[in-house]
Structure 1
Amino acid sequence: MMKTYAELLDIATKRKGEEFLADHLTVSEVSLADLTDDRILSEFSRGVFQAGFSWKVIDNKWPGFEEAFERFDIARNAFMSDEDLDRHLANKAIVRNAQKILSIRDNAIFLSDLAQAHGSAASFFAAWPSTDAVGLYDLIKTRGSRLGGMTGPYSLRRLGYDGVIFSKSVVSALNMAGAVDGAVTSKTAMRKAQEAINTWAEESGQPHAVISRVLAFSVPD
């Protein structure tokens, strides 16, 4: 039998304490719908470059990235030329990884396509229901570049999307709670996990991002 949200919250509270949870169960104040698409490309790109690299180094270099890629203007980066790529590869202000640089072009094209179909990529993402976050993660993995794994979901979370993050702790908690049995990698397992998150959201009235954190805090680090 699957644990209730109240039971999970009680476990997390006993592990971390009420004061800790009060400080960490906050919802992002970022409104996806209010963002411009260049900010989405910027955050996707930051996530791509952080993957497998020091986040601190990327954060320190990010002003250089913003300048090099013209504040991640969608149209400009969608038409990145070979000459542009050569220029970026010679730019010591950024991390010079050709495949990751090309992902900026590919994701600019992806976001441009969404904007043409929906007015803006931001409005498209903002309208996608949290009850189907796994569907959105699959879409950005399939249509975007290097946005699979944790890169896309964490980027969307930082942009204000209210979705669960299937971190190791969250997956461990989903197993402990009786929501899944084993890894959450297949589409079937991800759908089952999403259904559990939706059930807890209906029970508690809490955002999915909060439920995700409660799960993470309910198991050993």
Structure 2
Amino acid sequence: MRKEVIGNAELYLGDCREILPTLSGIDAVVTDPPYGISHSSNYGASWARTQIANDGTTAARDAVVDWANDLPGVYFGTWKTPPVAKTRACVIWSKGPAFGMGDLSLPWKPSFELAYICGNGWSGRRGEGVLTGPVVVSWESKGRLHPHQKPEWLMAHFIERLPDAFCILDPFMGSGTTGVAAAQMKRKFVGIECDEKHFANACRRIEDAQRQGSLFGAAA
């Protein structure tokens, strides 16, 4: 295990299932876990034909859900695997026309993902359950760092609906998007990632975001 402290962010390199029992002071979970579908992309990027760690089953995701208990949490996922056991609601992220290959024999693209909402402590004005926003960068050559990288505005949407004093955990940090959103909102953040390359990218992005300061405003 390796730990880096960057401003009000604590970042860990290692398996979250080993690190979580050592943590305290976590108030909420905002994460994009392995979906359990053994996905590997044929897309022409450096990660082509490689799988995300622990993506063979939903066991890693489910271990975090059990650890979090009743903490407010959002866990991204897919209809291809069982939903999070403690789901209270499901929000849909509409990714826009740039995404979604799927089964080419069908006349619909899977250009959306699910976000399972759990726990207590959410706040903010009630809004729509389908989220849309700026189309995300889909090409590695244009700055994409992770095959499943989420846009910062999307993670900020959920963080904004949690009290300002909450410490946000992302146990599957990837390239650090949740941590970037938290830094831009001046929120306390704890991130865990098991891949060294993604961990290094996350550290750099979160440090840059903390230098830049606030970007997202108060919850709508």
Instruction: Give the TM-score band, short-chain normalised.
Output: under 0.3
Relative to the length of structure 1, the TM-score reads 0.23
From the two aligned structures, give the one with the greater helix fraction. 1
Relative to the length of structure 2, the TM-score reads 0.23
Higher-RCO chain (CA-CA 8 Å, sequence separation at least 6): 1
From the two aligned structures, give the one with the greater strand fraction. 2
